[in-house]
């Protein structure tokens, strides 16, 4: 698969599947994963005639690991350079978790001249951190504990997360997939240590309210009401009030990893929204 060398020398790895003349759909992945976490959705939409583009964010997957630039604004700048490089227009942008924040920041900074629709899945928007103006957010101690666990034993932490809250495997009656756990661990361990460490601050402390206000295109929010990583009360239920043209679909009992746990339903929702 090809790579793109960005203006600061960072190399971004990306895949392009499907019909070269089809509707372009970009996928922005969550922390600390890479483009492969979208394979179910990318294969499905490519099989429907779309042109699918999924990249490994800087510091993640097969992209290079720069010391600096591990923030949502730079992530959006990187995505913009990829969009320009491939000369994409009439795009539907899809982002999961941190990737949802990346999409929101992209539109907030670069507008909608190339983007016609967006889908935010289990997204961090508008702000995860608890502040005076966002009392429903999560305390800073939650994110400090992530950093402490990474420094102490990243490999074990990256087993604990998928075995527990990410896929909802800690819930009674959940059907655990060893394959999903190992895939998550592998993707996480491929990422640069500092890159994913810095990204904790990026996904938890970035206020995206103003970016959401600028998303004057149809935006579909998909969120599980049992999301233990990005609780729906602090994210989608707030974002829908800010988006000018937002639609919210709640997945009853859905965990954070909707694209992995409910791929058929997510794929169906993506295709219907694409064709609407």
Catalytic residue check, 256: yes
The pLDDT, as a whole number, for residue 69 is 97
Structure tokens at 6: 């960005």
Q: Which residue among the candidates 96, 122, 256, 269 is catalytic per the annotation?
A: 256
Per annotation, catalytic residue among 28, 63, 97, 235: 97
Catalytic residue check, 97: yes
> H-helix or E-strand containing 181?
helix 178-190
Judge contact between 163 and 33, C-beta under 8 A.
no
Per-residue model confidence as pLDDT tens digits over 216-243: 999 999 999 999 999 999 999 999 999 9
The count of other CB atoms within 10 Å of the CB of residue 242 is 16
The catalytic residue among 78, 227, 235, 262 is: 227
Parent domain of 161: 3-275
CATH number at residue 150: 3.40.50.1820
Query: Would you say residue 130 has pLDDT above 80?
Result: yes
The answer, yes or no, to whether residue 100 has pLDDT greater than 80, is: yes
Residue 243 has phi, psi (to 5 degrees) of -65, 130
Residue in 128, 116, 136, 134 with CA at minimum distance from that of residue 220: 116
What is the share, in percent, of the chain residues with pLDDT greater than 90? 100
Q: Indicate the pLDDT class of residue 74, thresholds 50, 70 and 90.
A: very high
Q: What is the pLDDT of residue 242?
A: 97
Known catalytic residue at 227: yes
Q: Does the predicted model carry a pTM greater than 0.85? A: yes
**Tally of structural domains, the chain:** 1
Task: Inform me whether the pLDDT recorded for 1 exceeds 90.
Answer: no
**Measuring CA to CA, how many Å separate 253 from each of 141, 180, 217, 223?**
26, 19, 28, 10
């Amino acid at each position: 698969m090809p790579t793109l060398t960005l203006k600061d020398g960072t190399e971004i790895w990306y895949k392009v599947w499907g019909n070269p003349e089809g509707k372009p759909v970009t996928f922005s992945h969550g922390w600390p994963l890479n483009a492969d976490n979208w394979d179910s959705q990318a294969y499905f939409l490519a099989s429907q005639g779309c042109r699918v583009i999924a990249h490994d964010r800087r510091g993640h997957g097969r992209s290079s690991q720069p010391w600096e630039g591990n923030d949502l604004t730079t992530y959006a700048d990187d995505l913009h350079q990829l969009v320009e490089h491939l000369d994409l227009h009439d795009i539907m942008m899809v982002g999961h978790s941190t990737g949802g924040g990346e999409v929101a920041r992209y539109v907030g900074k670069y507008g909608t001249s190339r983007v016609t629709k967006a889908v935010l899945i289990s997204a961090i928007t508008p702000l995860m951190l608890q502040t005076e103006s966002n009392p429903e957010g999560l305390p800073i101690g939650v994110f400090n504990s992530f950093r402490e666990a990474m420094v102490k034993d990243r490999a074990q932490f990256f087993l604990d997360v998928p075995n527990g809250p990410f896929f909802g495997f800690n819930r009674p009656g959940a059907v655990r997939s060893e394959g999903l756990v190992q895939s998550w661990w592998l993707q996480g361990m491929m990422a640069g240590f500092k890159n994913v460490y810095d990204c904790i601050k990026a996904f938890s402390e970035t206020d995206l309210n103003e970016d959401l206000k600028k998303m004057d295109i149809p935006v579909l929010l998909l969120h599980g009401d049992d999301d233990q990583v990005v609780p729906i009360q602090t994210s989608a239920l707030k974002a829908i009030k800010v988006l000018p043209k937002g639609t919210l679909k709640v997945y009853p009992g859905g965990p954070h990893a909707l694209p992995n746990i409910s791929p058929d339903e997510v794929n169906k929702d993506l295709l219907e929204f694409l064709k609407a």
